[in-house]
């Protein structure tokens, strides 16, 4: 249904490693988002972008960073992973004022 | 106070029951409204948009009351497969801010 992809789907990595979570969409949407969600808990917006070279921090403070060099690509980077970063990370995209389409998510475990 | 508030749940209902979820929003300038469904460990997916005139999709009916800043979702003849978390979503003016509610969990039992 939705043309939005995330890789990897699952990642187990040791403390201190640098990781990049990939998100791509082929719908030409200007807006893209990253959410963090722990099991059974609510979604928290950590980053969003209105278009190329535009990035903003969301409502929940995060040690991650994002970039938007191309419309279709919105990667999230953690320079030094910690166990507190263990969570599910969901990417979404939308046109302005319309519904958001979500990717399948990346489940990250930092040991 | 949160910008979008939902019934905390969980709702535990038998198959065939009718269940209603409520959601209130604080920004009177909000422009578009949605209900999403999220299954355990999956991504949220759009269930239906919510229009001022109210709208229905099979067993699901959504209502919007702009004066009271209130959105509802009614599920009739509940199925086991309806068990999920239901998220109320509100878009701000120009769609530049999207707020997700915390979600209401529904368990439908045989």
pLDDT tens-place string over residues A47-56: 999 999 999 9
B35-58: b or e for each residue (b if 16 or more CB lie within 10 Å)?
bbbbeeeebbbbbbbbeeeeeeee
Supply the pLDDT for residue B95.
62
Mean pLDDT of A14-27: 97
For A96, the closest of B41, B87, B94 (CB atoms) is: B94
Interchain proximity A96–B96, CB inside 8 Å: yes
In chain B, the residue whose alpha carbon lies closest to the alpha carbon of A105 is B43
In chain A, the residue whose alpha carbon lies closest to the alpha carbon of B91 is A97
Q: Is A35 in contact with A20 (CB distance < 8 Å)?
A: no
Query: Band of the pLDDT at A13, cuts 50, 70, 90?
Result: very high
Supply the pLDDT for residue A2.
66
pLDDT tens, chain B, 110 aa long: 788 999 888 999 999 999 999 999 998 888 899 999 999 999 999 999 998 888 999 999 999 999 999 999 999 999 999 999 999 999 876 666 789 999 999 999 99
Q: What is the mean pLDDT of chain A?
A: 94
B97 touches chain A (CB under 8 A): no
A51's enclosing H/E stretch is strand A44-51
Using CA atoms, how far apart are residues B34 and B36, in angstroms rounded to an integer? Answer: 6
């Amino acid at each position: 249904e939705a043309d939005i992809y995330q890789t990897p789907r699952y990642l187990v990595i040791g403390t201190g490693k640098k990781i990049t979570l990939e998100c791509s969409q082929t719908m030409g949407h200007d807006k893209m988002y990253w959410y963090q969600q722990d099991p059974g808990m609510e979604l928290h917006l950590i980053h969003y972008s209105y278009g190329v070279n535009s990035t903003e921090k969301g409502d929940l403070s995060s040690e991650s960073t994002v970039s938007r060099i191309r419309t279709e690509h919105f990667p999230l980077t953690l320079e030094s992973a910690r166990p507190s970063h263990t969570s599910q990370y969901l990417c979404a995209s939308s046109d302005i004022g319309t519904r958001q389409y979500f990717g399948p998510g990346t489940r990250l475990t930092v040991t | 106070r949160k910008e979008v508030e939902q019934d905390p749940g969980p709702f535990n209902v038998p198959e065939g029951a009718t269940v209603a979820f409520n959601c209130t929003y604080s920004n009177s300038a909000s422009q578009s409204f949605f209900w999403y469904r999220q299954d355990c460990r999956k991504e949220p997916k759009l269930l239906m948009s919510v229009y001022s005139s109210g709208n229905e999709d099979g067993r699901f009916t959504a209502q919007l009351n702009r004066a009271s800043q209130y959105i509802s979702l009614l599920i009739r003849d509940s199925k086991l497969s309806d068990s999920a978390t239901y998220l109320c979503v509100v878009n701000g003016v120009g769609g530049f801010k999207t707020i997700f509610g915390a979600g209401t969990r529904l368990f439908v039992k045989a």
